[in-house]
Structure 1
Amino acid sequence: MDEMTQLDRLRSEVPRPDRTELRAEERRLLSEIAALGAAPSPRRARRPADLRRNLRLSLGTSVLVGAGAATVVALGFVDIGSTPRPEPAVRVAPVAMSAVLQRAADTASARDDLRPRPGQFLAYELQVMSPVKLKEGGKDVRYLDRSLFKVWLPVEGSSLDGGVMSSEHLEPRPFPGEPLPAEARRRQGSAVAPSRLTGHDIRPEYQRTDYAYLSRLPTDSEGMREHLYRGLSRDPLADYKAWGSVGSMITQAYMPSAQRAALFRAAGTIPGVETVDEAEDAAGRDGVAVAMANRLGGVRHEYIFDRVTYLYLGERVVVTDAAKAGAPAGTLLTSTAQLKVEVADSAPEVTVPDVNAPEVTVPDVNAPR
């Protein structure tokens, strides 16, 4: 690890105040300054030492924020199916822990945990939007497929060993700047009956995301951070891949609150984390997002949280560099909304024989781009 990387990660565990906290500090500081010029009264009189101490605390917070963090960047945004509109400011916090992830961690333990047992399934309901490329009239055409997935994954073992999924195609959207292909309209309303998840899980053991494995991970942020960076010591995209692993562990995956809190705190210390003040998941739910840019791929990968409860809502991938990503800057490439997670004693009966079952998998929006 070089000196600049060490400096970048120095004191990364210190939470960074958000705008509301900063405004409160500003008001308090101005109040203290005003008190200096006001005539003392029996009810307001303060000892000089107390006043100096309070001023030092207020100024210290302001200096910490000024030195630790915020560069405000305005980005253009192409809203799918509408005219461009300004995207909310992205606040970059390269050193201090993201306040959004800190609050998500703090509130994780306040929620009731699901407690699945071996042999049971975790049942997920997700809405997903992702680009599809196909041939039409001898030409390559693209559109944005929108689907509703219901997935049943075993509590222990590979998701491809006993996992079941059904899906339904929702109304598609055109790829920005391109007409909607006729094939996309024909798929609308079609459904896939419950089918076995197929394919080969080639991930190493430490990248498993079943509940039994995730529940054995560290419950402290340092241990969880080591887990996120496992196998990435020589990878130039280590930070971005660690960020992708965070998504793999919270989307279509479930872990106890202790591990979930540790994950959010560890994720908040990854260099390059950004806060996006306004974000919308695939179901149209508004929230605040934490994100990381992949400058090689020209995209930004966001995780969206409810701005009141800090409950995880979903994720999206947005283009930041048109030349690298092959789409206009601001284009929403993929989007996911995790609508429901519950425990089920069994998965639905597979109605299509395995030998004829189509190979169906939920698009992996966490794969590096």
Structure 2
Amino acid sequence: MTDSTAARNRPDDRDEIARLLPAPDDRDLTREQHLRHKELLMQHIDHDRAASTAAAEPARRTPRRRPVLIASAAALALAGALTAGIAMTGTDGRTHGGTTTAATDTRPAAALLHRISAAAARHDTLTVRDDQFVYTREKIRGADLTSGKAVVGPLEDEETWLAQEPGPLHRLGLSRVDGETLPLNAELGDTEGTPAGFGRPTYRWLGSLPTDPGRLLDYLYAKTPEAERRQRDQAVFEQIGSLLGGMMPPRTAAALYRAAAEIPGVRRTLEARDVIGRQGLGIVRDDTRYGVRTEWVFDPKDYSFLGARTFLIRDTSYGEAGTLLSGTAELAHAVVDKAGLRPADADGTRTA
């Protein structure tokens, strides 16, 4: 029996790989169409159909608030020596100038996160009405894994307008990527609409979270969605990261950073850069199961959040250590009265 035949005879493995693959950008497709796209991805994994067959029915591009990529366990768990730390100096996520040894002492990370928390707490609390939209402009870059190799796409300019209404919504806002504007629709399966929450963090919902760091951390561990074989500490760290880069009440931001300081394995790095090359102070955590590092980058002067990157820290079939999987660079934030309306200073630097 060939390897490919054996793989096809293990439906549980196929289901597991399908679950871990990045979902196609098709939130507003029917369930049947969604499953069809999932099957096309499995054809790439099995290599039992021509690539042109899969390309014949591409998923319609749906805008996303943030490039989120969860790589296949089968690929990321392949052999390769774990790199303890990577000196990153390029904007493409590749290593330059060799490797460095990462410190295991987490106290510097806690000290830095406490300073970031104190800086966030000094910001003014905004008044955001339910009929308004939170505007974000950022640079984004991500990798496509469907070919079995990480193919890093071009740097794109993304603007989003997120509705602040608290109730479940079918239309969450707008996204404009390199000039193309498309609606943000309810999450797949939310037939009654997507409510405010982790998937749609409105300013009001963020303000309802516990502001005591210990209580907030307990809440995050209890409410962060479970993922089989996913390290729980890593899942919570990434859940916090998914909330960064937007506008939130200062007390919530301060509590999130202090909560992150209590997660085991969180470290500080002095060699952090966002996806457009801005150097800053880094907070990182490694998912050693899959060989992936998540890195948050902060301005060394005012401790504001610059962006985030996710990249490989060991060689896998998807790519070499240092290969970028996803990255963002924050440029501007504002509150506007209408989706599609740009604030006057959208072409400037960060506004929040």
Same-fold call, TM cutoff 0.5: yes
The equivalent residue for 2:235 is: 241
Q: Is the 8 A contact 1:96 1:269 kept in 2?
A: no
Task: Give runs of aligned pairs for residues 156-235 of structure 1, distance below 5 A.
Answer: 156-157=165-166, 161-168=171-178, 191-192=179-180, 194-198=181-185, 200=187, 207=198, 208-231=200-223
Shift of 1:144: 2.4
Shift of 1:307: 1.2
Task: Give runs of aligned pairs for residues 1-369 of structure 1, distance below 5 A.
Answer: 74-75=85-86, 77=88, 79=90, 80=92, 84-86=96-98, 90-94=102-106, 98-132=110-144, 142-157=151-166, 161-168=171-178, 191-192=179-180, 194-198=181-185, 200=187, 207=198, 208-231=200-223, 237-251=231-245, 253-323=246-316, 326-348=318-340
Residue by residue over 1:305-353, the C-alpha shift from the partner in whole angstroms, topping out at 9 and shown as x without a partner, is 1112110111001211213x6211122222101111101011128xxxx
Shift of 1:284: 2.1
Q: Is the 8 A contact 2:135 2:160 kept in 1?
A: yes
Structure 1 residues 316, 233: CA separation in 2 closer, same or farther (over 3 Å shift)? Answer: closer
Inter-partner Cα distance in structure 1 for 2:86 and 2:150 = 27
Range with greater deviation from structure 2 (139-148 or 205-214): 139-148
TM-score, normalization: structure 2? 0.63
Shift of 1:227: 1.8
Q: Is the 8 A contact 1:77 1:331 kept in 2?
A: no
What fraction of aligned residue pairs are identical, expressed as a percent? 27
Shift of 1:283: 2.5
Q: Is the 8 A contact 1:89 1:276 kept in 2?
A: no
TM-score, normalization: structure 1? 0.60
Inter-partner Cα distance in structure 2 for 1:141 and 1:91 = 28
User: Secondary structure of the residue that 2:119 maps to in structure 1?
Assistant: helix
Structure 1 residues 133, 272: CA separation in 2 closer, same or farther (over 3 Å shift)? Answer: closer
Inter-partner Cα distance in structure 1 for 2:125 and 2:100 = 33
User: Secondary structure of the residue that 1:296 maps to in structure 2?
Assistant: coil
Unaligned runs of 5+ in 2: 1-82, 342-352
Q: Is the 8 A contact 1:88 1:278 kept in 2?
A: no
Q: Is the 8 A contact 1:78 1:332 kept in 2?
A: no
Task: Name the Cα RMSD after superposition.
Answer: 3.1
Shift of 1:131: 1.2
Q: Is the 8 A contact 2:94 2:324 kept in 1?
A: no
Inter-partner Cα distance in structure 1 for 2:146 and 2:85 = 34
Structure 1 residues 348, 272: CA separation in 2 closer, same or farther (over 3 Å shift)? Answer: same
Inter-partner Cα distance in structure 1 for 2:225 and 2:146 = 38
Inter-partner Cα distance in structure 2 for 1:302 and 1:241 = 14
> Structure 2: which amino acid aligns with 1:101?
L
Q: Is the 8 A contact 2:295 2:310 kept in 1?
A: yes
Structure 1 residues 247, 146: CA separation in 2 closer, same or farther (over 3 Å shift)? Answer: same
Q: Is the 8 A contact 1:292 1:302 kept in 2?
A: yes
Inter-partner Cα distance in structure 2 for 1:82 and 1:322 = 12
Residue by residue over 1:212-266, the C-alpha shift from the partner in whole angstroms, topping out at 9 and shown as x without a partner, is 2111111110111012211469876110000011111113x32200111001000
The equivalent residue for 2:51 is: none
Q: Is the 8 A contact 2:93 2:311 kept in 1?
A: no
Number of aligned residues: 250
Structure 1 residues 76, 309: CA separation in 2 closer, same or farther (over 3 Å shift)? Answer: closer
Residue by residue over 1:67-98, the C-alpha shift from the partner in whole angstroms, topping out at 9 and shown as x without a partner, is xxxxx955365843987323565333347762
Inter-partner Cα distance in structure 2 for 1:241 and 1:95 = 21
> Structure 2: which amino acid aligns with 1:149?
E
> Structure 2: which amino acid aligns with 1:274?
R
Q: Is the 8 A contact 1:132 1:145 kept in 2?
A: no
Structure 1 residues 76, 159: CA separation in 2 closer, same or farther (over 3 Å shift)? Answer: farther
Structure 1 residues 160, 167: CA separation in 2 closer, same or farther (over 3 Å shift)? Answer: farther
> Structure 1: which amino acid aligns with 2:152?
Y
Give the number of the structure whose alpha-carbon radius of gyration is greater. 1
User: Secondary structure of the residue that 1:197 maps to in structure 2?
Assistant: strand
Range with greater deviation from structure 2 (274-283 or 293-302): 274-283
Range with greater deviation from structure 2 (285-294 or 91-100): 91-100
Structure 1 residues 155, 288: CA separation in 2 closer, same or farther (over 3 Å shift)? Answer: same
Structure 1 residues 196, 83: CA separation in 2 closer, same or farther (over 3 Å shift)? Answer: closer
Q: Is the 8 A contact 2:152 2:324 kept in 1?
A: no
Q: Is the 8 A contact 1:89 1:277 kept in 2?
A: no
Inter-partner Cα distance in structure 1 for 2:158 and 2:291 = 28
